[in-house]
Amino acid sequence: MGIEWPDEVDAVLGGDLAAGLAYLTPARGVVITPMAPLGLRDRDAGTVTVTTSLGLWKKLERIRANPGVAVAFHARDHADTDRPEFVLVQGEATVQPAPDRAWLDSIGSQWAHFLGERKGGLLGRWQRVYYYERVAITVAVRRIVVWPTLDCAGVPIVHGEPLPDPPASQSPPRNGTGPRTDVDRLVGEVGRLPHSLLGWAGGDGLPMVTAVSARGAGAAGAELIVPASVRPEGGRRAGLTAHRFEPRMVGQEQRIYTGWLEVDGDRAVYAPHTRAGYRLPASNALMMLGSGASTRLGIRKARERGLA
């Protein structure tokens, strides 16, 4: 049994078009992937559910290996509510073992509301792998952290388990902590894209995620503005994501980084190690072609690894 949450939090969980799903890597880093949560939650059971394609096999593999996850409700663009809070859901995830067509049909109204009606005919056949080769990730909520504003300023309200003590520093990676990809490009993307999130493993092992902004670049990495309420002292692996999205997710851009975060007092420096992402124009035709093709390629890899 999870926890209960108030109406103002439920309005955010049920109304946001986009959220950031954070999960742990084998080295205890964090990756944050933007996705559409579809408003799926059960207040009586204390659960929040998202759904993801089998083509995103690495995400599924990592969550099955380490089920501690977080979902950051951080943006009101094209949402059903204009509430000002940043809401972070933390808990333990259970991944469906295989796609359940009946369950996927049962959430058709939520899919239509947030992403548009599923297509029929020739387009529907092309999109079938995207629509139905997917599974639910259900999070048994342990804690909900609510900041009063979307920039995570101020003192958060916590529902459920109290926040843990700050995490200890991690051992530095074998190849060093310095930047391995373009720092200026990262700072430019954080400045250009409207939503940026930073995540790391918290003191209880669950991902902690906050809004973040960049104030400049240097030889050691990007200097970030990290909210003082949860800013972890010391060094650790961390994930950073910057993104934007249009109505129904038709038109979007994602930039997903992993790297090393070093915090000394109010100074936080992020050295990016890897960069991934994509940009899609606001075109239904290109969106359907791209999602269908990428899902097929991903599912092929998932089958090779026994995940589909």
Q: Where are the alpha helices (DSSP H) in 224-280?
A: none
Domain ranges of the chain: 7-304
Give the model confidence (pLDDT) of 8-21 as tens digits: 999 999 999 999 99
| CATH 2.30.110.10 at 7-304, yes or no | yes
Length of the chain: 308
User: What are the tokens at 73?
Assistant: 């409700």
| pTM of the predicted structure, to 2 decimals | 0.95
Integer angstrom CA distances of residue 303 from 55, 56, 297, 299: 9, 11, 10, 6
Task: Decide: 151 and 76 in contact? Cβ < 8 Å.
Answer: no
Dihedral sign for Cα atoms in the order 194, 198, 204, 206 = positive
- pLDDT by position in tens, the chain (length 308): 568 999 999 999 999 999 999 999 999 999 999 999 999 999 999 999 999 999 888 999 999 999 999 999 999 999 999 999 999 999 999 999 999 999 999 999 999 999 999 988 888 888 898 999 999 999 999 999 999 999 999 999 999 999 999 999 999 999 999 999 999 999 999 999 999 999 999 999 999 999 999 999 999 999 999 999 999 999 999 999 999 999 999 999 999 999 999 999 999 999 999 999 999 889 888 888 888 888 888 888 888 877 67
> Which class for 175: exposed (0-12), middle (13-18), buried (19 or more C-beta within 10 A)?
exposed
- Cα–Cα distance for residue pair 298/283, rounded to 1 Å: 22
* pLDDT given for residue 30 in this prediction: 98
